[in-house]
Structure 1
């Protein structure tokens, strides 16, 4: 636990914008008993020294109840974000949309290079965050999505897919199992519809409550081979090497933050969910350890390069969950759930007729363009991104299983040559065995 406390030496980087209303800790979860000794060192992270950590951080007593979802604030995200993080990023040259999304730091190529050779930090606070609470929450989510929630314990996590009754894809959600709730991170375009869908399936006797906590939290991710070193330098090394979805709770400036293993792009890297009141402080702390800021424009390119399917593009009513290759999110041994019958038939009768691939292109191509091989249409391009050089073009697309595979050549649109390639996110997926867990 000493290492846990030590991490605050770096995260406590100064006072944030004062809250306009009084705040108090919610009462619904707990830390185990531990002791803490103040460290009298000051921390010159923001060009001036700060008081020692005990002035900012009060450890929770063993009997103090504590739940990280949602954090103890009742202001809209925008109110706090404008005073906390936006000032920081605009000073760094960020372009921010009217919706408050950081689009670019005018360093997209540098940030993409850092994904391969360093570490980037990305603000994904516009992604949806849903809190599912109540005594029946685990069984409810177990029945409404593809992962095995009943085998998970507090402090663990997983990916799960929300599908239609015929196993057509809606979205992939990242789930954290907390003491009194499950927190789901979903795409910004599906958050509302998923909440509506889940609410629809709550029956009268179900003890389940659904809350949208997107505006009550901020959310960052770390990506890149040096993300482990950043965690070590912040004394968060206890999470390095832990299974995907593992998460722990901390306090920064008296406000809650959850740090988890993995992110929306890969099983490597880390995720941070926190009160918006401390978002600016945490952001600066990560930058101080060498993380390069990345905007949403570069993030979308990274998503395509990595092969992570997205709602409205690769995840639609046209494609089922197995065609999308989301094997790591599917359990075959948990019994009935929405879409289970279709998934079982597809596996039993080898009914998956197409699959998602990466495609290295000779030029720009429009999503929706047909993919042909030997003069026959065999698929469709679903996403496109230009690379860091004029000659680098890449896309994602569904291709019939018997028509092409890794290394084969296809034509996209009228005359754009493409080479079918594996992409990291899909390469990590593996068909589950009948004895597997989530």
Structure 2
């Protein structure tokens, strides 16, 4: 007999691979940046080429320190009169506080909209079909969904690229009901935290406080899709340029699978030729006798299928490298430039 909690986790995990998962993402920072200098300001402070975006276009970008360390990954949607900025779950006030610190004489206003909106994430291979069946459009920007005005983003997720749906907070229950009705029985599962964490780690999605920390730089976390090496100065630009020019990235993030339903804990040391790495995220796979982790490994990109050894308190555990995390290159205005170094080819 499967316990109710395990059943919910299993249902979420399977829906992420076979159907669609609905996640309440209300804990993600959501900002509206207005003023005549809004795009230039975001272009100058964050890592992507925001000036290249036209109204209705979206791009991933990063907040990093002057020393090139990661703070948060953002999604920026440019509209006619504003730029909408979406941060990572758990980042709290960090994106707003960081951006406001750089506003001096710029004609820029930054408003935190978290209390005014709801944010739902729709992931899985059937996410687009569920959106269409609910009367929505699979497009980025300001649209109607089930007769409700919403703003839609896209980002990588389980089953491919998923949809982020923002609306007035009063419309939350109506949106959820419309999506569930459109999906039909079993076609849309409300995300269970344990099941969703397994999907996140298995897919290779970065998490604030795990992969998105000042312990790492963007290239170690494979964030090339959110970096521009062609635009002018931004916070941390000189460090990023040196890392790229002199090929100084000596470790990279990988997805790894282990046999057994007990996942090696975060912080566990991992041995992979030619040295030692560390696990940054860890989850058991619901309903299966295996676990998945994200780990930073040393060396010149170990090949998928290669073996690693996790040094757990219970002893050594053998794992297999699955591959690199996904990128959001399909959402950029233009494909990323050829970086010219084998280390950066994904």
Shorter-chain TM-score bucket reads 0.7 to 0.9
User: Match for residue 338 of structure 2?
Assistant: 433
1:264-292 deviations in Å (ceiling 9; x for gaps): 66862211100111110000010112222
TM-score by length of 1: 0.69
User: Match for residue 100 of structure 1?
Assistant: none
- Measure the CA separation in 1 of the matches of 2:121 and 2:294: 23
Q: Is the 8 A contact 1:168 1:316 kept in 2?
A: yes
User: Match for residue 344 of structure 2?
Assistant: none
Cα 1:217–1:266 change in 2 (3 A) is farther
- Measure the CA separation in 2 of the matches of 1:114 and 1:390: 15
Cα 1:115–1:415 change in 2 (3 A) is same
1:77-120 deviations in Å (ceiling 9; x for gaps): xxxxxxxxxxxxxxxxxx9xxxxxxxx89622112111111111
Q: Is the 8 A contact 1:307 1:426 kept in 2?
A: no
Q: 1:221 aligns with which of 121, 124, 130?
A: 121
User: Match for residue 19 of structure 2?
Assistant: 118
Larger radius of gyration: 1
Aligned length: 324
Report whether the alignment pairs 1:329 with 2:250. Answer: no
Cα 1:296–1:316 change in 2 (3 A) is same
Higher strand share: 2
Cα 1:322–1:359 change in 2 (3 A) is same
How far residue 432 of structure 1 moved from its aligned partner, in angstroms, is: 3.1
Cα 1:326–1:293 change in 2 (3 A) is same
Cα 1:264–1:192 change in 2 (3 A) is farther
- Measure the CA separation in 1 of the matches of 2:146 and 2:8: 29
- Measure the CA separation in 2 of the matches of 1:257 and 1:138: 22
- Measure the CA separation in 2 of the matches of 1:322 and 1:171: 14
1:158-216 deviations in Å (ceiling 9; x for gaps): 1111111121111111111122221111124323122111111111x211111111111
How far residue 393 of structure 1 moved from its aligned partner, in angstroms, is: 0.6
1:35-92 deviations in Å (ceiling 9; x for gaps): xxxxxxxxxxxxxxxxxxxxxxxxxxxxxxxxxxxxxxxxxxxxxxxxxxxxxxxxxx
How far residue 298 of structure 1 moved from its aligned partner, in angstroms, is: 2.5
Report whether the alignment pairs 1:275 with 2:275. Answer: no
TM-score by length of 2: 0.86
- Measure the CA separation in 1 of the matches of 2:243 and 2:158: 26
The correspondence of residues 378-397 of structure 1 with structure 2, limited to 5 A, is 378-397=276-295
How far residue 256 of structure 1 moved from its aligned partner, in angstroms, is: 3.6
